[in-house]
Amino acid sequence: MKVLVTGASGLIGFEVCRQLIDRYASVHAVDNLSRGLDYPTCDRFYNLDLSNPASFNELDNDYDVIYHYAAINGTAHFYDKPNDVARTNTLIDMNIIEFAKTLKIKPLIVYASSSEVVAGSSTESLSETDNIYVEGISNPRWSYRIAKIMGENYIRNSGLNYLVCRYFNIYSSLSKEGHFVADQVKKIRNGVFSIIGHNETRSFCHASDAVDATLYCADRYLNEVVNIGNDEEIEIGEAAKDIAEVLGLENDSINWEHLNSRHGSVTRRLPNIEKLRSLYPEYLPMSFKEGIYKSFGI
């Protein structure tokens, strides 16, 4: 097997390369290193900008599987440079899908979608069959969301084999600025004890669990949309306290400042992972606190 991983220096792509390297004959990795010099474990690395179609001339033409994670991510970017996010992510998705059509064999594309696509759902837990609504179309936060909706639609109508993975709040020690865990760790280490949206809830999943589930499904199933995450729900305020404890602080000595959520942030995000568990009955993700110890424990 020969595999291509895009966005291979990112949070999930890096872990995909790590878990793939012992399983496949050849792993090729692509990233433009825009968010740091995290070189993944791989057989060949390409520093390329996949929003430029000419970049694909550097790649081979015989990949069996493409794990596609290249994108501008991070909530702060959605608000601060929405047009860059929407334009770049849509171009990358279209370019990689069109590239896949030119390969010698028909590859499987594992597409990294996001819980953001169903952010407007009113259901208690978010399932793969929920209808997708976009309320307040001009909200800059939706720049990432709309690009992912477009990507899902494009790949599912491409004629290629696919697995669409909707990831829910993935984190690890490689989490970058703009994600809750990375931002909270940085603030706490700098003596800043503020929490944005403290009473909102999220369901965090460690990258190692998310990738384990992804590879399991990719090896066995075609043309599916699967929620990848953890259905352990936790308040943002409690999550911040868990991070502080893991970093060696006593929460009783901290005077936490509660800040308002940013416009468009949902009050609750809980994935329905019944489908994932039916496909992968042994799936048992670690708790948030276990994952924080794994990533940042002292």
pLDDT at 141 over 80: yes
Tell me how long the chain is: 298
The predicted pLDDT at position 186 comes to: 95
pLDDT at residue 51 is higher than 90: yes
Which residues are bridge partners to 45 per DSSP? 29
Q: Does 279 have pLDDT greater than 70? A: yes
Closest CA to 68 of 169, 164, 178, 174: 164
pLDDT in tens, 179-196: 899 999 999 999 999 999
d(CA 290, CA 288): 5
Q: How confident is the model at residue 122 (pLDDT cuts 50, 70, 90)?
A: low
Q: What is the pLDDT of residue 187?
A: 96
What percent of the chain is modeled with pLDDT above 70? 98
Looking at residue 124, its pLDDT comes to 65
- Top pLDDT among 24 and 124 is at 24
Q: Can you tell me the mean pLDDT for 51-79? A: 94
| 3-state percent helix, strand, coil for the chain, nearest multiple of 5 | 40, 20, 45
Residue 76 pLDDT = 81
Distances (CA, A) of 156 to 150, 221, 223, 257: 10, 14, 8, 44
**Is 78 inside a domain boundary?**
yes
pLDDT, average across residues 166-189: 93
- Mean of pLDDT over the chain: 93
Residue 168 has pLDDT above 90, yes or no: yes
Q: Which CATH number goes with the domain that contains 215?
A: 3.40.50.720
Total number of domains in the chain:
1
What local confidence, expressed as pLDDT, does residue 153 receive?
Answer: 97
Q: φ, ψ for residue 137 (rounded to 5)?
A: -60, -25
Does a structural domain hold residue 192?
Answer: no
159 belongs to a structural domain: yes
Least confident of 114-123, 211-220, 226-235, 241-250: 114-123
Reported confidence tier of residue 23, pLDDT bands at 50, 70, 90: confident
pLDDT of 223-277, one tens digit each?
999 999 999 999 999 999 999 999 999 988 899 999 998 777 788 888 999 999 9
Average pLDDT rounded to a whole number, residues 49-69:
97
* Residue 86 domain-assigned (yes or no): yes
In a domain? residue 131 = yes
Structure tokens given for 295? 């990533």
298 pLDDT above the threshold of 70: no
Is residue 12 one of the residues assigned to a domain?
A: yes
Residue 103 has pLDDT above 70, yes or no: yes
Domain, as residue range, for 148: 2-175+206-231+266-286
**What per-residue confidence (pLDDT) applies to 262?**
79
Question: Cβ(40)–Cβ(18) under 8 Å?
Answer: yes
pLDDT confidence bin for 36, thresholds 50/70/90: confident
Is 185 among the domain residues?
no
User: Is 28 in a helix, a strand, or coil?
Assistant: strand
Q: What is the DSSP letter of 178?
A: T
What mean pLDDT is predicted for residues 96-121?
Answer: 93
Query: Is the Cα torsion angle 93, 96, 99, 103 positive or negative in sign?
Result: negative
Whether 239 maps to a domain, the answer reads no
Residue recorded with tokens 């909706």? 149
Task: Give, for 278, the enclosing helix (H) or strand (E).
Answer: helix 274-279
The predicted pLDDT at position 128 comes to 93
pLDDT at 45: 97
